[in-house]
Chains A and B, each alone.
Chain A
Amino acid sequence: MMPGMQVPSHVEYERATSLEHALTLLAGPDARALAGGHSLIPMMKLRLAAPELLVDINGLTELSFIRLDGDELRIGALTRHADLLGSAVAGEYFPILTDAERVIADPVVRNWGTIGGSLCQADPSEDLPAAFAALRATVVIRGAGGVRTVPVREFHVGPYETVVGPGELLTEVRVPVLPRSSSAHLKVHRRAGDWPVAAAGAVLRLGGPAAAPVVEAAGIGLTAVGAPHFVAAEAEEFLRGRPADEESFAAAGAIAADHCRPVADQRGPEDYKRHLAAELTARALRQAAARALGEA
């Protein structure tokens, strides 16, 4: 990093008064949505980002909601981390979200940072993309041309890159509610509030007799370890139809570790991160299974 005084370069600012207004402003040259600003503002201070126009979407309260709608949980893009953390309905159906939110940043960041910002930032170490990927969520994107939905597993196209185009906004995330399922998210960090060294989320739908449960479907999200689209697809595939036991979970962890591509940085060397991918995957599966069986 080029050491330099942390002040942003010149930028224009507009506060969007409606979704349509926001979309119009965002269609302009080099415009950028400003949600919680917890990722964007630091990047601007470091001059890693220098948009010409900031479109503040914080006034669009219609984008802030968490509600159960049929067999889906719908979460508005402007929902704050703290709201998701405190949501009883999210916690009941998707403990993975509560687990993840509990270890994302600190209360100050969680009070203002948003779910939409977290997904759109597309930081390879962000927790929520992995959690939503494990849940096989879909996201809703709006632009002047209308609305489209995209599976979250196709949403991130690379580090700091998503399918959201100019003049578009992510408006909500939809998570399918599955029967006889549960989930968990586990993270290793060097200090509370730090980004993960590695994290794993698991969603399990179980079948078979209670005494010998079988995995009907598995979702495994991995973050900070170079898993394509934050997903451990081969491990998910492996688990389908297998007994929901220690042996399967450990094997799934090993497969997940084999298929990720962690890079060494000051959080840890590659072999350690790969080890964590295995260890955390197995632990998250174990906890998800215990929860699904009402044991935890």
Chain B
Amino acid sequence: MTATEQHGAPAAFGPMRRKEDARFVRGRGSYVDDIVLPGMLHGAVLRSPHAHARITSIDTAAAEAHPKVKAVITGQTLAGLNLAWMPTLSNDTQAVLATDKVRFQGQEVAFVVAEDRYSARDALELIEVDYEALPAVVDARRALDADAPVIRDDVDGRTDNHIFDWETGAAARTEEVFRDAEVTVAEDILYPRVHPAPLETCGAVADFDKVTGKLTVWETTQAPHAHRTLYAIVAGLPEHKIRVISPDIGGGFGGKVGIYPGYVCAVVGSIVTGKPVKWVEDRSENLMSTAFARDFHMRGEVAASRDGRIRAVRVSVLADHGAFNGTAQPTKYPAGFFGVFTGSYDLEAADCKVTGVYTNKAPGGVAYACSFRITEAVYLVERMVDVLAYRLGMDPAELRMRNLLRPDQFPYSSQTGWVYDSGDYQRQLALAMELAGYQELRAEQRERRERGELMGIGVSFFTEAVGAGPRKHMDILGLGMADGADLQMHPTGKAVLRISVQTQGQGHETTFAQIVANELGIPADDVEVVHGDTDSTPFGLGTYGSRSTPVSGAATAVVARKVRERARIVASAMLEVSPDDLEWDGARWFVRGDPDQGKTIPEIAFAAHSSLELPDGVEGHLDAQTVYNPPSLTYPSGAYICVVEVDPGTGGVKLRRLVAVDDCGVRINPMIVEGQVHGGLADGVGMALMQVIAFDSDGNCLGGSFMDYLLPTAMECPSWELGETVTPSPHHPIGAKGVGESATVGSPPAVVNAVIDALRPYGVRHADMPLTPAQIWRTIQGRPFRTDLAIT
């Protein structure tokens, strides 16, 4: 079946072409930088060249004298407005513009507003800042040393760089299992700092209307409602006088969840000048100062029996959070959902400790499609399973097969308290092995090893916990993670769906229309999806952590069902039967026993707006609203297999194949699902083989441009081979589980496991990402280097 055959068909789930692509492929998208307002001014941020330094003075006189400069804002200006610091999403504070010290290279120090971008940039060079350089904390493993400089001396009484300790699982029980285990393995594993690097960098256009007192901000944000509430709280502006608009967004990946100083500066700039102010950062600013991801220094341990039963997993983590604790995650989960490090296996015990520390690096921590640290957890456990397979001399696929949860174990309560909803893991892994031709690949590998050639086969199996989340347990800065949906039905049966989540490329305008279409038996083309504008959408926390379909998709199905129930009453008046005598056939309410007597939603919608007499107490129209508070999370899973070849003379890797069998429950639009998987696989290739934001000993960022921070190209990506299994989520209204981050989570361990497997003849058990040619060659020599520091 081709993608177009289903276009607009009433049975609405299927590979429908994305509605939004019509504007994107014609260059008619409208991004923040496309917004042009009359009299608009342009802002530029002066950034710190130092990773750690005291500011002794800032002289802005020459910049202010520039003929085209309208305002120069410093931390001092902001302090007068009580805006020099702002809360982060983790209840820490972050400097908007530095007042006392700079704490990472690229930190915001001053903001210039000028008539054009060029003048604003020129004026930055006219600002004189005197810095007194301080030693920088660059290596997270040194952050808690007694003599480490204290980064956050802005906080009263702070004498070290410790942020939090967090534990999950059962330490004593785990220790017991380890003590009597036949086999134990341990490995230090780094998931280095990476960056989501969206095509569109961050930016804002702020327009404060002095007459109405209303502030409108166009922003690159994945969470417009949360931003509005935060602006209200931080700036003391009334919430109904703030409108946040998230227009088309060119990729988010978690990097556009938080509020950046530049946004606040644009707002202040507009208030100060009385003119709209645009600020759009460039690529280096984006890479150096916006939310990074990972930076988890992990030690994993596994206890097992000699015949390959995985009994317990223990992990300790040092989490580098940068200079401000700005991770976006539910309040009770300082290490996100790292608790799923128990993987997809039936364990006897598990235990984990995470310590968060400050370093002189950019803040952030949850970004780049990580499902709240599930990326790190999956990488850890899937690497460790391979380390165990190596130790036992077992095939890694076979070892996994032996330990995967069985279908009859669902719902399954993990050793860290997560309740996995559904899955059929063995079938999923078997399908991946069949698609890959696993046994033939192993045979080929044996032959080639005999010829001295390095070929590797890597397997990973992951389970994610997505769709945050039940409001009782999950909130961000006190805002519960439930999302609203409003569905308005026009008299002609056309619908307008308003949702709180915001697409950054995931195709919400199509998928959500298909959900409504499926519930109401109308074409998806008849459903307009409105999102990204706080003035015209219901409250909700936005799109990240693969939560749109699990949460807002559920809200959408529920609100459409409400409309359908209201339509039933109207239909009963039209057909002059009791509502109880009506049945829904997917497109019509019809009279039970008399199928010719029925009414479609468009017919009913018109009647609901007409002079038709309705039963007492029944309102006209069909519109409905809902708020969906998820009862639990959903648990997508995946079985990935990667095949590589390694050139021992150069350390170069050729990625031959990548097979991905995903189970994200019911697929609403399989084409969009596959697109999400394709993108995530490419992400994984990037992280596994080439990406890292490293720092030198002075804290200089070594990944501040696309010359240094590499994105994979078509040349590095094989033709992806996809498969699927479908185990619907039992508690989701349409059985969908979310897929936005699956492949980003699952592919790095598959690729790394493949490379390490290729290096087996050298006795290599582990090496840290990114596996660049240099790192692979050094690993072969038995001398891998720290990838998070400058190469020396």
Q: In the complex, which residues of chain A have a beta carbon less than 8 angstroms from the beta carbon of B651? A: 188, 272
Contact B121 A266 (CB under 8 A): no
Q: How far is B123's CA from A9's CA once the two chains are assembled, in angstroms?
A: 11
Q: Find residues 675-695 in chain B having any chain A CB closer than 8 Å to their own CB.
A: 689-690, 694
Q: In the complex, which residues of chain A have a beta carbon less than 8 angstroms from the beta carbon of B105? A: 3
Q: In the complex, which residues of chain A have a beta carbon less than 8 angstroms from the beta carbon of B716? A: 191-192
Q: Which single member of A2, A7, A194 contacts B710 (CB below 8 Å)?
A: A194
Q: In the complex, which residues of chain A have a beta carbon less than 8 angstroms from the beta carbon of B555? A: none
Residue A5 CB within 8 A of the other chain? yes
Residue A195 CB within 8 A of the other chain? yes
Contact A272 B778 (CB under 8 A): yes
Contact A265 B791 (CB under 8 A): yes
Residue B702 CB within 8 A of the other chain? yes
> What does DSSP make chain B's interface, helix, strand, loop or mixed?
loop
Interface size in chain B (residues, C-beta < 8 A) = 51
Residue of B nearest to A8 (CB): B118
Contact B690 A191 (CB under 8 A): yes
Q: Interface code B690-709, partner A: CB below 8 Å = 1, 0 otherwise?
A: 10001000001111110110
Contact B773 A268 (CB under 8 A): yes
Contact B792 A264 (CB under 8 A): yes
Residue A279 CB within 8 A of the other chain? yes
Q: How far is B118's CA from A208's CA once the two chains are assembled, in angstroms?
A: 65
Q: In the complex, which residues of chain A have a beta carbon less than 8 angstroms from the beta carbon of B49? A: 2-3
Q: In the complex, which residues of chain B have a beta carbon less than 8 angstroms from the beta carbon of A197? A: 773-774
Residue of B nearest to A191 (CB): B710
Residue A283 CB within 8 A of the other chain? yes
Q: How far is B652's CA from A206's CA once the two chains are assembled, in angstroms?
A: 31
Residue of B nearest to A282 (CB): B649
Residue A1 CB within 8 A of the other chain? yes
Residue A4 CB within 8 A of the other chain? yes
Residue A269 CB within 8 A of the other chain? yes
Q: How far is B713's CA from A279's CA once the two chains are assembled, in angstroms?
A: 26
Q: In the complex, which residues of chain B have a beta carbon less than 8 angstroms from the beta carbon of A272? A: 651, 773-774, 777-778
Contact A5 B44 (CB under 8 A): yes
Contact B713 A191 (CB under 8 A): yes
Q: Which single member of B288, B689, B708 contacts A3 (CB below 8 Å)?
A: B288
Q: Which single member of A6, A9, A106, A280 contacts B713 (CB below 8 Å)?
A: A106
Q: How far is B368's CA from A243's CA once the two chains are assembled, in angstroms?
A: 55
Contact B708 A266 (CB under 8 A): yes
Q: Find residues 596-621 in chain B having any chain A CB closer than 8 Å to their own CB.
A: none
Q: How far is B285's CA from A188's CA once the two chains are assembled, in angstroms?
A: 29
Q: Interface code A160-196, partner B: CB below 8 Å = 1, 0 otherwise?
A: 0000000000000000000000000000101111110
Residue B785 CB within 8 A of the other chain? yes
Q: How far is B790's CA from A268's CA once the two chains are assembled, in angstroms?
A: 10
Q: In the complex, which residues of chain A have a beta carbon less than 8 angstroms from the beta carbon of B281? A: 5
Least Cβ–Cβ distance between A189 and chain B, in angstroms: 8
Least Cβ–Cβ distance between A13 and chain B, in angstroms: 14
Q: In the complex, which residues of chain A have a beta carbon less than 8 angstroms from the beta carbon of B694? A: 266
Q: Interface code A98-140, partner B: CB below 8 Å = 1, 0 otherwise?
A: 0000000010000000000000000000000000000000000
Q: In the complex, which residues of chain B have a beta carbon less than 8 angstroms from the beta carbon of A4? A: 46-47, 121, 124, 284
Q: How far is B106's CA from A195's CA once the two chains are assembled, in angstroms?
A: 25
Residue A259 CB within 8 A of the other chain? no
Residue B657 CB within 8 A of the other chain? no
Query: Which residue numbers of A lie inside 8 Å of B, CB to CB?
Result: 1-7, 9-10, 106, 188, 190-195, 197, 264-269, 272, 275-276, 279-280, 283
Q: Which 6 A-B pairs have the closest CB atoms?
A: A268-B774, A192-B715, A6-B282, A3-B47, A3-B106, A272-B774
Query: Which residue numbers of B lie inside 8 Å of A, CB to CB?
Result: 44-49, 105-106, 117-118, 120-122, 124, 281-285, 288-289, 649-652, 689-690, 694, 700-705, 707-708, 710-713, 715-716, 772-774, 777-778, 785, 790-792
Known interface pairs A194-B707, A197-B773; 9 further A-B residue pairs with C-beta atoms within 8 A, sorted by A's residue number = A5-B44, A10-B122, A190-B773, A191-B712, A266-B702, A269-B774, A269-B791, A269-B792, A276-B650
20 contacts between A and B (CB under 8 A): A1-B705, A2-B49, A3-B289, A5-B44, A188-B650, A188-B651, A191-B689, A191-B711, A191-B712, A191-B715, A192-B715, A194-B707, A197-B774, A266-B790, A267-B791, A268-B772, A268-B774, A269-B792, A272-B651, A279-B650
